[in-house]
């Protein structure tokens, strides 16, 4: 079960690395609830635990608003406050302390340009960033750590952006045609028919290139046939036909049964002599 869990986590990390550009060392933005959970369940050192989870080196960050929130909670979170003060601080431009959710949302921004993982135990924060593309969420469950699977909205966002990359926009296509006209058709003759044919040929090649790129991107594997070396060879019908021909050449007559003659022994010949007990043997 532990191996399956690690495979799921590695798959999520690969998804965000391939689609959103996350790279090692991974940056993790921790709030107060997550830091308190790590200390409560003895998941220390925290950077080692998160490095095992992500499969690469991890750097832990927090903000001054989050440390201020831990300080306001009193002595029950004093150890969590000390641990948070040892982490690196992500820049937040709040003059006055705001809530952890508002501070994390401001640090992440619209596109998560810093590529932060958000580590939290707050259900509202997890729900908020589940709807944001490019923001993976880490949470703890007792003495284990988990990464949330990409939501349907995040997968749909990735699919739509990939389709946009494959299809050129009208402005890009117009720029391409202008560049080709300036470079290729400047030296051509003044014949309008040749120019139009040359232009149509270049447009068709450009479209073919886009179609090939799209087909190669979304090419699906088809079921292959069986291995011919593992299949039995078909029986030849020549042997049966040869046998039938031989039977036909024989005239179709039935074979006669062989009649075996009885060989008489010396004893039988004596018994067959006249005068031997008055009996004759034929």
CATH of residue 14: 3.40.50.1010
Q: Nearest 5°: phi and psi at 5?
A: -65, -40
- In angstroms and rounded to an integer, the radius of gyration of the C-alpha atoms of the chain is 44
Rounded Cα–Cα distance for residues 147 and 6 (Å): 10
Higher pLDDT, residue 68 or 170 = 68
The boundaries of the domain holding residue 81 are 1-154
Residue 266 lies in a domain: no
Average pLDDT over residues 28-37: 94
Rounded Cα–Cα distance for residues 101 and 135 (Å): 14
Average pLDDT over residues 62-85: 92
Q: What is the pLDDT of residue 272?
A: 53
Each residue's pLDDT tens digit, 34-62? 999 999 999 988 999 999 999 999 999 99
Residue 217 lies in a domain: no
Residue 196 lies in a domain: no
Residue 236 lies in a domain: no
Here the tokens at position 8 are: 């799921």
Residue 109 lies in a domain: yes
Q: What is the pLDDT of residue 121?
A: 94
At a CB cut-off of 8 Å and minimum separation 6, what does 53 contact? Answer: 9, 138, 145, 147
Query: Domain count of the chain?
Result: 1
Here the tokens at position 18 are: 């391939």
Residue 209 lies in a domain: no
pLDDT higher than threshold 90 for residue 230: no
Average pLDDT over residues 128-134: 88
Residue 224 lies in a domain: no
| Confidence band, pLDDT 50/70/90 cuts, at residue 5 | confident
Picking from 45-49, 69-73, 87-91, 217-221, which range would have the lowest pLDDT averaged per residue? 217-221
Closest CA to 100 of 73, 76, 78, 133: 73
Average pLDDT over residues 105-122: 92
Each residue's pLDDT tens digit, 152-191? 888 888 888 777 766 656 666 667 666 666 665 445 444 5
Q: What is the pLDDT of residue 119?
A: 95
Q: What is the pLDDT of residue 243?
A: 58
At a CB cut-off of 8 Å and minimum separation 6, what does 70 contact? Answer: 32, 35, 36, 77, 80, 81, 84
Average pLDDT over residues 229-244: 66
Average pLDDT over residues 240-267: 59
Q: What is the pLDDT of residue 31?
A: 93
- Name the average pLDDT for the chain: 78
Element (H, E) at 268: helix 266-271
pLDDT higher than threshold 70 for residue 193: no
Q: What is the pLDDT of residue 170?
A: 61
Q: What is the pLDDT of residue 282?
A: 42
Q: What percent of the chain has pLDDT over 90?
A: 38
Is the Cβ–Cβ distance between 32 and 77 less than 8 Å?
yes
Q: What is the pLDDT of residue 1?
A: 47
Residue 177 lies in a domain: no
Rounded Cα–Cα distance for residues 14 and 3 (Å): 16
Which residue stretches of 167-191 are H helix?
170-184
């Amino acid at each position: 079960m532990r191996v399956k869990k690690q495979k799921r986590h590695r798959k999520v990390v690969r998804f965000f690395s391939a689609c959103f550009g996350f790279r090692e060392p991974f940056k993790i933005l921790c709030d107060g609830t997550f830091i308190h959970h790590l200390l409560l369940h003895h998941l220390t050192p925290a950077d080692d635990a998160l490095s095992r989870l992500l499969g690469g080196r991890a750097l832990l960050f927090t903000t001054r608003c989050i440390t201020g929130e831990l300080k306001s909670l009193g002595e029950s979170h004093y150890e969590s406050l000390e641990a948070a003060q040892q982490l690196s601080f992500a820049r937040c431009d709040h003059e006055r302390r705001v809530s952890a959710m508002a501070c994390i949302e401001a640090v992440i921004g619209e596109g998560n340009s810093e590529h932060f993982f958000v580590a939290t135990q707050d259900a509202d924060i997890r729900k908020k960033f589940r709807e944001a593309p490019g923001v993976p969420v880490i949470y703890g469950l007792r003495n284990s750590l988990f990464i949330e699977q990409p939501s349907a909205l995040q997968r749909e966002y990735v699919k739509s952006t990939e389709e946009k990359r494959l299809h050129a926009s009208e402005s890009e296509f117009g720029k391409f045609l202008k560049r080709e006209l300036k470079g290729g058709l400047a030296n051509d003759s003044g014949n309008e028919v040749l120019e139009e044919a040359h232009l149509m040929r270049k447009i068709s090649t450009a479209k073919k290139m886009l179609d090939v790129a799209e087909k190669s991107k979304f090419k699906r594997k088809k079921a292959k046939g069986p291995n011919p070396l593992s299949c039995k060879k078909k029986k030849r019908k020549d042997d049966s036909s040869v046998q039938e021909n031989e039977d036909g050449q024989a005239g179709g007559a039935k074979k006669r049964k062989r009649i075996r003659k009885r060989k008489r022994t010396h004893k039988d010949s004596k018994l067959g002599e006249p005068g031997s007990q008055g009996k004759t043997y034929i």
